[in-house]
């Protein structure tokens, strides 16, 4: 298994929206709400991964699933932006375990979440803050004007 780099995301990003998850059953709501926050529209059934918002939804779902399966709840997912790029930050409560990218395995065996994040995002990292671990992925949309209204929530 290989590790992802230990690093905080850039500091100039601000929080747009936060989701708190306690169970995997809440992932569907996260996916729909995150897509709406990014685009202003509902996630289309069987949506294509050609667009950055769909890729970000996939990565958020994968990282949140990892947190829900391997750490204590709650899992906190945040969408951050600086106006040109955005970050998906997933916080769990298992600070003693560093995230690792699984070795290649058979299709359907699971464990590809971090590998997917590394492949389709600009950057992936993780850091410890207090008793929590954060895993984040950064994205750049080619047409930021097409995003939903990414206004801070606080």
What is the spatial distance between Cα 9 and Cα 23, in angstroms, rounded to a whole number?
26
Residues 83-138: pLDDT tens digits? 889 999 999 999 888 887 766 656 555 567 888 898 889 999 999 999 999 999 99
Quote the tokens at residue 102: 């699984």
Q: Taking every pair of C-alpha atoms in the chain, what is the biggest distance, in angstroms?
A: 44
What is the spatial distance between Cα 41 and Cα 98, in angstroms, rounded to a whole number?
35
Let me know: does 52 contact 139? Beta carbons within 8 Å. yes
Four-CA torsion 114, 115, 120, 125, nearest 10 degrees? 40
pLDDT at 145: 43
pTM above 0.85, yes or no: no
Domains of the chain: residue spans and CATH: 2-40+49-146 (3.30.565.10)
């Amino acid at each position: 298994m290989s590790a992802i780099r230990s690093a905080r995301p850039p500091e100039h990003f601000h929080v747009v929206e936060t989701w708190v998850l306690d169970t995997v059953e809440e992932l569907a709501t996260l996916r729909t709400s995150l897509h709406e926050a990014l685009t202003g529209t509902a996630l289309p059934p069987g949506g294509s991964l050609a667009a950055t918002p769909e890729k970000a939804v996939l990565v958020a779902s994968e990282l949140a699933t990892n947190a829900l399966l391997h750490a204590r709840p709650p899992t906190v997912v945040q969408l951050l932006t600086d106006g040109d790029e955005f970050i998906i930050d997933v916080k769990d409560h298992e600070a003693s375990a560093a995230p690792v990218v699984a070795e290649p395995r058979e299709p359907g065996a699971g464990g590809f979440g971090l590998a997917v994040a590394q492949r389709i995002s600009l950057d992936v990292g993780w850091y410890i803050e207090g008793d929590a671990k954060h895993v984040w992925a950064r994205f750049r949309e080619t047409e930021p004007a097409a995003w939903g209204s990414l206004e801070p929530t606080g």
